[in-house]
Amino acid sequence: MGKVLTHMTMSLDGYIADLHDRVDHIFDWYSAGDVAMQTANKDVSFKVDEASAEMLRDLIGTTGALISGRRLFDITNGWGDNHPAAPRVVVVTHRPPVDAAEKWPKTTFVGSVESAVSRAREIAGDKNVVIASANIIQQALDLGLVDEVCISLAPVLLGDGIPYFSKLARGHQLLDDPAVVQGHRALHLRYQVRR
């Protein structure tokens, strides 16, 4: 069975988007290199540096399912049912779209973080599950369901916005020392969660 990871790009001051959900400055690294990087979505590719490409190949190549919250799903229109990082998506929501089965057949809608992790693990099989939604990440950490926290740290100060982490109900969460990959326009950090 694979691991449960988190991964998001974050500004140096801790935000994953500005107050208007824009990510353009923190996502610069996805187009800041010469290495063409294919994703799980054949219509989406990146041009990153070699170090970032190696990190992405590992992340995408080992991911069997991605977990998102409903807000992010709505902002991206469900990635057209074709997320770049995973072949399948599980969305945590209490209100699934009425046309979900027809419009997003590769997306599963569930009512809680626990059921999302359980369902995503079933879908992923021996591959990893990646959580890519700040609120869902915080809840999964509080529930003790995360094995690794991954951050692509962008050299940008947003000043305000949507935080990667805000309050953890359990309080402190200790992590091991990071594995570090220096990319162009991003520093990729991967922390094992201490149990």
| Other CB atoms within 10 A of residue 192 CB | 15
Name the domain count of the chain: 1
The residue that leads in pLDDT, 172 or 193, is 193
What digits encode the pLDDT tens for the residues 67-105? 999 999 999 999 999 999 999 999 999 999 888 889 999
What is the distance between the alpha carbons of residues 192 and 177, in angstroms, rounded to a whole number? Answer: 8
What is the pTM for the complete model shown?
0.94
Rounded distance between C-alpha atoms, residue 161 and residue 183, angstroms: 24
| Tens of pLDDT, residues 135-183 | 999 999 999 999 999 999 999 999 999 999 887 877 788 999 999 999 9
Q: What range defines the domain where residue 182 resides?
A: 4-192
pLDDT of residue 150: 98
Closest among 106, 113, 138 to 6, alpha carbons compared: 138
Confidence of residue 133 (pLDDT cuts 50, 70, 90): very high
Q: Which CATH number do you get for residue 103? A: 3.40.430.10
Confidence of residue 126 (pLDDT cuts 50, 70, 90): very high
What pLDDT is stored for residue 166 in this prediction?
83
Mean pLDDT calculated for residue range 19-31: 94
pLDDT of residue 41: 86
- Predicted confidence (pLDDT) per residue in 48-75, tens digit: 999 999 999 999 999 999 999 999 999 9
Dump the DSSP string for 83-127: -TT-S-EEEE-SS--TTHHHH-TTEEEESSHHHHHHHHHHHHTTS
* Greater model confidence, 41 or 130: 130
**What is the pLDDT at residue 42?**
85
Quick one: pLDDT at residue 128?
98
